[in-house]
Structure formats: structure tokens, C-alpha cells
Structure 1
């Protein structure tokens, strides 16, 4: 074994998670345009090919009830269902299910077979059809083939070719375990940020119940906690579980058969397939739980809901040795309608329930939804259709990114809608006029830069949410976030509104400017002015076209998860010492934010140095502003950070704030935070700081800052792609 630096020094700040942002890992090359290729597909032909695969059982892998439909539904569900709201990571985009660790999670047992069954479809369409789109499209085709009317389908998910190692899955080192460190209070309860799944290696929750025990109350609590963290309310949660469990069965007819290792640990001759076992002898083994949920596991109906509500259920150990539930009395066990055997239609199988199923019945709010669905089957159908559509598309961002003939006309609030511009956009002449007016106002370079950054840096490349488009910084909840300094922000917004009104009222034509464009333009003007004051003539690229969202188009609760708890770029520590999540240090949170902004290590470095030079710090603090000329785009941050005439001393209990002292006089020159000092203490970051801090490095620093700044300002401009 060859040890990495991380093995030798496990506390070393991980910067490699930013390297993928600077590299093109796509084997099709930089000029490849997946959206263009996808539009060449005949989607009906693709769906017909998927259906043919689905209805053609293979000798090398059995098909339950003569169809792979339920298997494909599970595959799609487990691909999309990893999405979590707190950092927007995971989900169906990228087809991460085919890469470790998801490819080898215990909850994904035998989904490697589902993807291998679809290999001929992928091979036929090649670059026109990503695995990410194919996996979830197969789930839709399965539902439709078994009698369900889906709400629609959108393509546009591109494949990843390397695991996203920035995704934190939890503190456990073994699969299917739950440790107190996963929860904020040390016991089962609120998950630590940014987690969503309550068990390592499982998509959602343990189907047997918390810690593998049939605890209904605890199971319901875990379900509500987990599904809320993937953006689902109670009705959507019940619809997804009830709708998904209408189809297929779970597998675990044998507790003695030895199952081989997962795909990433399997022998090379298995060619990426794992969990090898003799299914002809023992049947398919996945979860260890055995049985169907209802008598019609390959057709859409209310059989699951009816069985769950109409029978009393008791826990028992099934044939696979796992906790599962059966009708409580012998009479009920005789009365309940049997399902056909998955492999032998002349045989029958007893329906069962999971602890997570029965928990829905015993939770007052979930039960109310179940009863409503039972009384109104059409409402159940519509609720599942919309929840399934949301599940599959939640991580794709705004509707304009969705491709294909089956994209529904509906626009949902969870897609963060932004209105189209019903006016002509400003041109170069108007841009110059507006920049001059902004710079002539009472707003400082710091205020202009901070406001533009606060607006644009909400963007997350993980799920394409946030960003400057929509100007949601002027709406709740963003205008009240502590990091945005609400009182100062109010002053800035009032000035922008006055400039906007005067400009729009003065136009005799249809040219108008949005606040969203004006905020970004103000930040750009500040950068250009600060560069000019340092002796550099720069122009920050600007593309108009942003529009202003309304409060009605903004789901306040949904946007609250975008609030920065800390922000290294603005040197905002918040209550970092009191945060109870899985990031140990402020600098780890800085790197995590940079990854979500799709920044490289160099881009993160130059942006921090530039923001300090602009004086764009939280509360106008001088922390990290290592210059006598704040508001001027100099390389002073790096020069003074590396200067050995200064020494650093911690002045806070948690080593988060430091004084910068002159070694000779002992006088305090500045204060700094860990966000600042990491660029001198980490070897890789110091190597980059050396470049920008050199006597001949300032011009390159200014140029690189302008480029990185412009990138952040336009991260959400999907209309320009």
C-alpha cells in the first residue's frame, strides 16, 4: 500500500476536492455539449428499448414476475433519493450510483445488475444518453408499463466520471451502523449537517427500525427527519413510500447463504458485479427482508394502502433473519390476499410490511394522509406522480435546464422560478451610464462588493440553486440573514432601487434594468474602481438578462438552507465554535463552500485575497484586511501574510481569532482569523500565496481576481450556456 499525504497527516486540510473543478474529466472533451446531443434522441424509441429490456428476463439474473420493472423503480429511486437539501449534493445527476461509495452501499445491493441490464441501451445511444438520465428514465418507463401515469420526464443530467469526495456521508467506518456522532445531541434525533440518511450506507432509514429494532415511533421520527432533508413534506413522503411500495417485493428468503463482497471489493473476474450468491438455490438476497407488499406487485392500485390500513400488523423475524411485519392474527393471515411467487406463478407469497411502513400507520399525521389516499385514489395517483417527478428532478435546478419532449408545462416553487424579461436589455452605453451613477452614489467599494457577493455566492453547483439571478437578496429570507448585515443591506438596496427607478423612468424606449443586474453591475464597478486605484485598467465582463423574482416565487423554508453559517470569503465566523456539524474547522467550511461554487484552489485563494483588499468583510471588520489602503485592489494581503516581520498570536479560546504583531515593536497591526492564516500555514495554499505576494505578482493577482469574480457573478446564468 502506498500512503497518501492524507494518510500520513489525517488533519491536513483537504484541498483535493477542489481539483476536479479545475480539470475536465469528461472523456468526450471540452467541446462536448450534452444538451445538444440529448436533443438528437428519439425519446419514444429510447423508452421502447428500455421496455424491451425490462420485459426480457435473462438467465444470468432473474426477473421478478417476469419483469425488471420493480427493480428499475428501485434503481431510479435510490439514485435520486440520495439528494439532500442542506448542501444540495448527491441525487440522480452525475449517475453517482455507478461510482463508489454509492455503487457498493448495502442499500444498493443488486442494483449493479439493473444497470448492467441497461448496458445495451447505453451502448446503442452512447453520448446522446447519459447514465444519469437513463437510470431515472428507466424508472419512469417501469411505472408507465405497469399502469401508472407519470407526471413527465426531463433529460439534461450529465455523467460524472469520478466520485464526488466532497460529499460527507457520516462519521461511521462500517456499513449499516449508526453512531451518536451522527446526531446533534449525541442520541437519535436531529442529524448533524449536512447529512440526510440516518444510517451509513442506507439511502434513507433502516427499514427494520432504528438500530435494527421494530420501534414504530422512532422509525416515524427518522422518516420525517430524513425526508424533510430531501425537501419532502408529509404528503410527499407518504406518497413516495406508498407509491413505491405498491410495486415489487423485498428479498431475503435465506439467512444462511453466503453473499459475496460488494462490487468495489469483488474479484476482478466479476467485472464490477458484486454480492455474488447462488440465487437459484436461495433466491435473490438484498435487504434480508422477504416478501411483497400486496397481491398485485406489477400493477398500479391501492393494494399497499389497503393492506396497511385494513390489517393489524405484528413484528416477527422473517426467513432472512430480519425484523418484518405480518398480519397480527392467524385469521388475518389467512384472509389477506396472497401474491404470486416472484419466480413460480403456481406458488403464492404472503404480503408483509416493513417497520417503516407500519410506522406511517401509527403516526397521526402520516395516517391522515394514508386514509385520504385510500378514500381518493385519484388524489393518491396525482400526489405520487408529482412527488416522484420532484424526487427525480429536484437536483436539476431551474426549469430552463430541463430537456426533452416530456417536460411538463407546470413550473413549481421548488424549481425557484424567475420571470422572463418583458423588456429590452441594457446595452454597453446604458451599462456605462449605470456604473457611473452607482460609483457617484454614497455607496462604498466595500458595500458594492459585499452586496454583489452576498447575492451571487448563494449559488450551489451541486443542485444549481441560488445565485444572483432573481435578486432574492432583497426578499425573505436572504435580506434578514445575519451574514448579509440587514441594516446596511437595506441602505444599499434603497440606493439601488432609487437608481433603478430613475433610470427606468427616464427611458422613452422599452429598455429596462433589473435590480438583479444592477446589483452585479455595482459589484463589477467596485472591482474596476478598486483596480484603477491600484493602477490597473480592467473591465469585468457583464452580461445583462437577470430578472427579479417575487416573494411568491420564493419558498422561504427552502431557501433557508442556503444561509451561510460561516463565510470565509467575507471573514464571517458567525457562531463557528457552537456549530454542531461534521466540519471541524472554519477552513474546512471555506473549502466546502469553494467546492459548491465550482472554484479551483487558485480561484479560492485569489478571491479571498481580493475580498480582503476590497475591505469586503463582515461588519466592515479589519480582520484579514492587511493593508493601509482598503478598497484598493492590491496584493497586500499576500505580501503581509508572508512577511516574517510579523508574528501571530491566538486571542480566542478556540483559536479562531489572532492578533498580528510587529516582531520588533510588539504593536498589534491587524487581527486575523483562521480563514486568513490558513493561506500561510497550509503548504499548498502558501505556494499559491507566494505567487500573488511577489513583487511582480500583483498584476497577475488583479487579472486572476477579475476572472474569478466574473465567474462567480455568472454561475447561475444557464441562459448563456
Structure 2
């Protein structure tokens, strides 16, 4: 379902406005720009010269894998392993690290080691995962700077599966740690854990965008059923929707459910209400070791995490086909766990099929299924997939291994960013493959041909911007590389002005072919040509940096459906926004700015320059505060802060900029335009660029910010 149909603004709320603890808390509706400057280098203890992606290349990969595998069966007294094997715990940690990814904005996932910090480290769904990370500390300590927490947590899941008998599909290193909470991620507006105030109606499809989980503090769905009420058929709908929002189809969803629950167990043998505070809330004496359990020993068979109790299979430390036999060969009835959670138990089962107790293998325990498991049996689509998996074990194992690889690598970006000896050779469509582009062509000759093409500055710049603006640093998707702007679905996006786009592409493509360049390179180069012409018209000679080598993707390389999530519903840089979201225009712009990896000053200078170049969507004149449109001048800022003007809001939500003396309307403006004069921080930046001595600085800074956007997806040169 698209965001407009959902009736919700498709970006975070609350995270953009002032927090209660900030100095601006007196003004709760004030625009908060902090997310544009999070993870400042000052917070990074490694220093500016440290490059993790280079450091990890010198890691002894085989030694690390061997140490992590050995850890699986090295049970510790302070947190003993179930059945002497930490496999289930490590799989859950890796899964919950990667599983927070959502397709809508690419945020979440395991690519940053964010599970170490609030709120994820204290989510109800992550109870006891602090123990898993503490168990991994000796490995992290040993390999130090060459091994990030982000890589280690995902690797632990892979090694857990391998130690339990699964041949994994592969693994890539290269995830760089962050050093504090991710303020840019909106996890929901609820004010209490497990709140569910994120739906417009009872329909699962009305889940608020960009969210994917059904409740605050959960990774996917409530294992007890929708709203905690068991109903496998209804839960199946919730599972399908939430996994779809995490980029998984029905077969991948079924495979992940079966493969995830083939090993390990759920823990609910006690009173969940007696658990101590979460890691973020415990006293200093606990040293961040949360959820102290007062039931019995507090661990082992007395462990309480989800509140559901029991294993899914007869052999929970072996990756086998037992999940299908247990689920499909038994009738199930609703029951309660010792902690009071809703779960399902077999109506009748032989002792030989019952899983052993985690401490004493001579004791048999009752297996269980969650409501989400029962959904795999009740829903006809999932049931058919489960039957096919059981009939072909090798197909199931391969499907699961691939789905697990996708789950744990989806947010890493293209395969060119993968590091290590276990990177699969196969190109997968969800990796957005792009072939290498030519580099030996005559760049200057192509620039001349573009300049003589008859295309306007606005057409050249707008097309290059539209091609590059899809990039999002959250999961390294989108961008100009691949020239996917000429393919479905991007060529038909309203935000890309299809008729103008086709005109420009039709003019540039033959020039690219004649020069032996890719169209992707030609589009970006054309934007630079337009900027150079505009700067010259403003009296400044400038050369826009350009590095060739982009390739052109094909339809066969493009997962068109998944690219729908990248469609801009608003773009303040080109003064475009869907009317339904007009009130959130600046929030949506800040959101896009953060995904592009830009700072607030870079956002400011780009907006001012784009307005001067006349690149507004549809050719509107809102914010074009100049009589020299098409020249790269600082006129937007000069006239924005000029007190010879006054500003008047219109009934249609736009604004008139009126000359105080004559009373005549000089220009019109959008909410985005005037925010750069009304917000105190943005006004300070605007005043810098309005100064008489900063005309050249404005052009220089604009070119630098522009080049940053054009090269955001050039992982080969960045």
C-alpha cells in the first residue's frame, strides 16, 4: 500500500521536533535539525584516521569463525547455555539485530551495531540479548579494532547455524559501528512498551508508515496473536504485512519462520512481571546487565524472556526438518505458559518426539508453537509453502540459507561493499547490481556536446538531481549509478516529471552512445555542465568535479517492486510535495537530507542554489527570489532576509513576498522556502550566504554539496 493511501506522513514524527530535555523544549513544534549531525566524529573514539573497512580486511577470518563456533558450546556459569549450546540465543540476537530493517526508508537493520544502544537494547522483544553480547565480548576483545560489533553480532548468528548443521549461503564483513543511539529512526509514537497506536483501522495494511513491526518494542508480530489475542488466520495477515515491509515475500517469510524456529526455544518458565529493569534503566551496580530474574535460579530452565515457554522441535540444537514434522503432523490446542502467555501445545504427542529439558536431557518437556507458527499451518498460502518445503528438504535449506543471507545483509548496500572470503559470487537482484561503466571516453568532448544539446540549465540540473536524490545512506540503495531513472518504476514517477525526463533522456542517450559513455555518467555530467553554465552567468568560473565509471543497469537487474519504496513523495530541494503532507514539508525535507548524508548547511546552500537555477518541480516560481533565474546567484538568500519585504500567508497554503513600500507582490513562496528565514538556525546559515563577500563562497559550497550527492553511491571512489 502506498503512503498516500495510508493517510500518514511517510517520515518520522516526534524525532524531528524538540525533545523534552532540550533547550528548545519550550517550543515543541520547532524544527529539530539534530539528526543531520548525529554520530558526529567527536563521539567516535577511533578518531578520524581510522578506517574500519580497511582494518577488517586484515582480520584472520578463519580464526574468528573458529573462535565464535567454539564459543557456542562453552557454557558459562553466569548464563548457562540451553542444552549446552548457545546457538538459539545467538541466532535470536543476530535476527533481532538485522530484523529491525524496514524497506520503506531503509532504516534499522544490523549494519551499525545499533542493538548496543537505546532503545533497541531495552526493547521487550530483546530481553536477555544483553547476555548474548556479553558472551561475545571475549571474541571482540581479542580481535579488537579489526572486528566491529555489527559484524560480530551477525557473524555469531551464521556460526550458530553452521555449528548446528546448516550450510549457510555466505557472509560479508564491512559493517561499521556507530557510537550512540540512532536519533533518525522513528520506531513509533506510543508512549509505553508494546503499545499499538499505529493503525488507522483493523486492517493490517493501515500500519503507519514507515513502521514495519506491529507494536512498540517488537521486531515483527506479537507471538501471542494480534493484540495478544490468538487467531492464527488473523496473525497470518499481520505476518504477511510486516515481512513485506521488511522486503520478504511469502516463501522467504515461511522459510525464515521455519528455519528460525528449527533451533532454540522460547523462555517463559516463571513470572515475567518480576523481571528487573531493562539494561538502560538498571542501577550502576548492574553494569547494564538487565532484566534480572527472581524466578528460581534466574536462568536455565527458570529463564523468562518472551513469556512463552518451550522448544519448537525435538532436537533444538540441530538444524533439521523437525519443525515441519512437529507443526504439520500434530493437532494443536491453545494453552498458557507458566508466565501466563498464550501459546499452542500438541493435543497428543509421544515422549520420543518431545524436546529435552535444557538442564537435564533425561527429562522431556512439552513442545509449543506460537500464534505466528500456527499461521504457517492455517493460512493456505503459507501451508502450501510449508508442505513443499517438507517434501524437498534440500530446497528448504537452500531457500532458508538465502533468506537468512538477505535478512542479514539487506542493509549493507551493493555487493561491491562486501568484504571477506565468504562473499557469494552470485549477483542477487535485491542487491541492486550495476555493471561497471566505461572510463576511457573523452569527458571534455561529451561536455561540449551536452552544452550544445539545446537543453536548458534547469532541465540538465533537474534530471541529474532526480537521478541521484533516490540515494539513502540507511541501506545504501538508490542513487545515480545504474541510471535506473530511465527504467520502471522511476521513469513514471510523478516526482520525476516523466515528459521532461523523457525529453532530456532522448537528447542525452545518443550523445552517451557516440562518446562511449554510460547514460548514468552522462546524466550526472550533464548536471555539472548546467551548473558550470549557470555559475558563469553569475560571473563565477567553476569546474564541477566528475569521476567517470558509473554503469547502466537493466530491467533484469532491477527489482521494480522494491524500488517503489524509494519514490519521493516530497522533495523540498525542488519545491515538490504531495499536498496531503504539506504541513510536514520541512520534516520530510530534513528526512531526505539525512538519508542523503547532508548537513544542515549543505541543505541550505543546495536549496538556495536550486531555487536560483529554476529547478522547481513543474516549473513553478515559488521561492525563485531572483530576476536572474538560471544563473547560480545567492539571490535567494539576499532577498529572503531582506527586510524591505514582508510575508503574507495565502488561503492555498502558499505565501506572498510583498514589497513594503509599493505593496506589490514580488514573489511567491512555499513553507519550505520561508523556513530558511524563520528557523533561527537556518536563518543564520542563510545570512552567511546573503553576505556581499560570500558570493564566491556560495558557489563553491553549492558545487561541493552537489558533488557529494552525485557521488553518494560511488562506493568505488568514496
What's the TM-score once normalised by structure 2's chain length? 0.95
Tell whether 2:342 aligns with 1:323: yes
C-alpha separation in 1, matches of 2:39 and 2:541: 29
Is the aligned partner of 1:498 residue 2:510?
yes
Q: Distance in 2 between matches of 1:22 and 1:699?
A: 28
Equivalent residue for 1:567, pick from 562, 567, 571: 571
Worse overlay, 337-346 or 151-160: 337-346
- 1:315 CA drift (Å): 1.4
Instruction: Tell me how far 1:173 sits from its aligned partner.
Output: 0.7
C-alpha contact (below 8 Å) 1:238/1:370 kept by paired residues: yes
Report the equivalent of 1:607: 606
1:574-595: CA deviation from partner (whole Å, max 9, x where unpaired): 23348xxxxx611000000000
Distance (whole Å) between structure 1 residues aligned to residue 276 and residue 603 of structure 2: 44
2:440 to 400, 420, 425: 425
The equivalent of 1:478 in structure 2 is 490
CA shift digits 1:228-257 (9 cap, x unpaired): 011000000000010000001000111266
Decide whether the 8 Å contact of 2:439 with 2:548 is kept in 1.
Answer: no
Task: Indicate if the aligned counterparts of 1:435 and 1:522 stay in contact, CA closer than 8 A.
Answer: yes
Inter-CA distance 457–497: structure 2 relative to 1 (3 Å threshold)? same
Q: Compare 535-544 and 189-198 and name the one that shifted more.
A: 189-198
Instruction: Between 202-211 and 693-702, report the one with greater CA deviation.
Output: 693-702
* Cα displacement (A) at 1:336: 7.3
**What is the aligned partner in structure 2 of residue 270 from structure 1?**
286
SS of residue matched to 1:281: coil
Residues in 2 aligned to 1:361 and 1:684: alpha-carbon distance in whole angstroms: 56
**How far apart in 1 are the matches of 2:439 and 2:664?**
57
Give the aligned partner of residue 130 of structure 2. Answer: 112
Aligned to 2:531: 527
Q: Secondary structure at the match of 1:432?
A: helix
SS of structure 2 residue aligned to 1:178: coil
- Cα distance in 2 for residues equivalent to 1:217 and 1:652: 48
* 1:298 aligns with one of 317, 325, 350: 317
Output one character per residue of 1:694-715: Cα deviation in whole Å (capped at 9) or x when no partner: 2222221111101000110100
Q: Partner residue of 1:284?
A: 303
**Equivalences for 1:236-635 in 2 at 5 Å?**
236-255=252-271, 258-278=274-294, 280-281=296-297, 283-327=302-346, 329=347, 332-334=348-350, 337-421=353-437, 423-426=438-441, 430-503=442-515, 512-577=516-581, 585-635=584-634
Per-residue CA deviations over 1:497-533 (Å, capped at 9, x if unaligned) read 1212333xxxxxxxx2111111000101111111111
8 Å CA contact 1:95, 1:131 repeated in 2: yes
> Partners of 1:577 and 1:132 in 2: how far apart?
35
- Deviations 1:624-658 (CA, angstroms, capped at 9, x unpaired): 111111110111111111112222222245x3x22
Structure 2: stretches of 5+ with no match in the other structure:
1-18
SS at match of 2:655: strand
Partner residue in 2 for 1:229: 245
Is contact 2:335–2:343 with CA below 8 Å preserved after alignment?
Answer: yes
Q: May I ask how many residue pairs the two structures share in their alignment?
A: 697
Cα deviation 1:282-328 (Å, max 9, x = unaligned): 5111001100001100001111111111112121221110100012x
Q: Which residue in 2 is equivalent to 1:508?
A: none
Q: Describe the shift of the 1:576–1:704 C-alpha distance in structure 2 as closer, same or farther (beyond 3 A).
A: farther
Report the Cα offset of residue 424 of structure 1.
4.7
Task: Look up the SS of the partner of 1:661 in the other structure.
Answer: strand
| Deviation for aligned residue 1:681 | 1.1
Any conservation in 2 of the 1:483–1:574 contact (CA below 8 Å)? Answer: no
Please, which runs of 5 or more residues in structure 1 have no aligned partner?
504-511, 579-583
- CA distance in structure 1 between the aligned counterparts of 2:250 and 2:595, rounded to whole angstroms: 29
Q: How does 1:32-51 map to 2 (within 5 A)?
A: 32-51=50-69
Shift of 1:164: 1.2
Q: Secondary structure at the match of 1:247?
A: coil
Q: Do residues 136 (structure 1) and 154 (structure 2) align? A: yes
Tell me, in whole angstroms, the C-alpha distance in 2 between the residues paired with 1:362 and 1:572: 45
SS of alignment partner, residue 566 of structure 2: coil
Give 2:141's match in structure 1, choosing from 123, 129, 137. 123
- Pick the aligned partner of 2:707 from 705, 710, 719: 710
Aligned to 1:507: none
Q: In structure 1, how many angstroms separate the alpha carbons of the residues matched to 2:72 and 2:295? A: 19
SS in 1 for 2:693: coil
Alignment of 1:194 onto 2:215 = no
Q: 1:374 touches 1:380 (CA, 8 Å); kept in 2?
A: yes
Pairs within 5 Å for 1:204-215: 204-215=220-231
Task: From the superposition, tell whether residues 2 and 377 of structure 1 become closer, same or farther in structure 2 (CA, over 3 Å).
Answer: closer
Which residue in 2 is equivalent to 1:9?
27
Change (3 A) 1:404 1:652: farther
Kept in 2: contact 1:97–1:103 (CA 8 A): yes
Scaled by the length of structure 1, the TM-score of the pair is: 0.94
Deviates more, 1:5-14 or 1:684-693: 5-14
CA distance in structure 2 between the partners assigned to 1:5 and 1:204 by the alignment: 35
Q: What's the offset of the Cα at 1:58?
A: 0.8
Deviation at 1:183, TM superposition (A): 2.1
- In structure 2, do the counterparts of structure 1 residues 603 and 23 end up closer, same or farther at CA, with 3 Å as the change threshold? farther
1:646-661 matches, within 5 Å, as: 646-653=645-652, 655=653, 657-661=654-658
Partner of 1:163: 181
Residues 16-46 of structure 1 show CA distances to partners (whole Å, capped at 9, x for unaligned) of 0001376454321222121221111121110
Q: Do the aligned partners of 1:565 and 1:575 also contact (CA within 8 Å) in 2?
A: no
